[in-house]
Amino acid sequence: MSDLLPKGIYENLLTSELQRRLDNLDAKNHIARISEIDPSLAGDFLTRSLSEHIQRALKTLGKGKDSKNIYLLANRILQTIGEYDDSLSFLQDLTYQNTADNLLTEIHSIGESNIERPSTPLTFPSLFTGASGSPQLGKELELELESADRVDLLVSFIKSAGINLLYPSLDRFTARGGKLRVITTTY
Residue 154 lies in a domain: yes
At 117 the pLDDT is 87
What pLDDT is stored for residue 158 in this prediction? 82
Per-residue pLDDT at 187: 65
The range of the structural domain enclosing residue 145 comes to 137-185
Which of 187, 139, 184 lies closest to 166 in space, CA to CA? 139
State the pLDDT at residue 63: 84
Residue 28: inside a domain:
no
Whether residue 99 lies inside any domain: the answer is no
42 within some domain: no
- Phi then psi for residue 153, to 5 deg, are -105, 115
The DSSP-derived string for 85-96 is -GGGGGGTT---
Q: Does a structural domain hold residue 147?
A: yes
Q: Please indicate, yes or no, if residue 142 is contained in any of the structural domains.
A: yes
Low-confidence ranges of the chain (pLDDT < 50): none
Per-residue confidence (pLDDT) for residue 2, from 0 to 100: 59
Q: How far apart are CA 181 and CA 174, in angstroms?
A: 11
In the chain, the number of structural domains is: 1
* Tens-place pLDDT, residues 57-76: 999 988 876 778 899 999 99
Read off the pTM.
0.69
Task: Report the distance separating Cα 142 and Cα 147, nearest Å.
Answer: 9
110 in any annotated domain: no
Query: For residues 154 and 181, what is the distance between their CA atoms, to the nearest angstrom?
Result: 8
Residue 109 lies in a domain: no
| Whole-number Å distance between alpha carbons of 25 and 3 | 9
